[in-house]
Amino acid sequence: TRNSNLTNPSMTKRLIYCYPNNDTSAVPDADLFVCIHSNAGGGRGSAYVELSGTYDQADIRDDYAYISNTIGKYINDEIVADTSMPAYCGGRLEGIPELVLFCKSPIPIAYLEIGFFDNGSDLNILQNEYEAIGSAVANGIDKYCKDAGLK
């Protein structure tokens, strides 16, 4: 979480947590990476960003995009079901597969856009239902991990 653009770490810095002891020369020891954003810019609701491009990170899985999209859908479906946050664009944002985080993550990644700060209704939900949103994110991850056989 950041309070200003002055504290926005690079994607490389964010992804070090996927590695044991933050050692990027090691094999990642995380199964998933979840990135949560809330933005401004004229919208309403929650969606995951769909992966649909070519990704060439070292040792990336063949099912990288499928797993990433599936975990994103699980989480977003929980948010929409468990809060008053509606689905934005049907719950899936398409057409931006070149996002830098997708091209750097060594493991499947769920990239979520939850609410818009320039929309009064979304802002109210973000301010008053943040615990429900957090629980929905955790429940979506838990459901995915159970269905995928992850611990």
Q: What percent of the chain has pLDDT over 70?
A: 94
- Confidence band of 42 (pLDDT split at 50, 70, 90): confident
- The reported pLDDT for the residue numbered 3 is 63
Mean pLDDT of 93-121: 88
Q: Using the structure block, give the residue that is written with the tokens 């060439």.
A: 56
Q: Are the C-beta atoms of 92 and 50 separated by less than 8 Å?
A: yes
Two tokens, residue 79: 């948010």
Rg, Å, the chain Cα set: 15
Q: What average pLDDT score do residues 32-51 get?
A: 91
Q: How far is CA 113 from the centre of its chain?
A: 7
* CA within 13 Å, CB half, 101: 23
pLDDT the model gives residue 8: 67
Mean pLDDT, range 36-45, rounded to an integer: 87
Beta strands in the chain (DSSP E): 33-39, 46-49, 87-93, 109-116
Taking the CB of residue 123, how many other CB atoms lie within 10 A of it?
15
pLDDT band for position 41 (50/70/90)?
A: confident
Q: Which of 62, 72, 117, 123 is closest to 96 using CA atoms?
A: 72
Q: What is the pLDDT of residues 106-116, one digit of tens each?
A: 999 999 999 99
Q: Which 8-state DSSP code applies to residue 118?
A: T
Q: What is the pLDDT of residue 40?
A: 83
C-alpha torsion sign, points 75, 79, 82, 87: negative
State the Cα–Cα distance between residues 119 and 127, nearest whole angstrom. 12
Spatial distance between the Cα atoms of 71 and 143, rounded to a whole number of angstroms: 9
- % of the chain with per-residue pLDDT over 90: 64
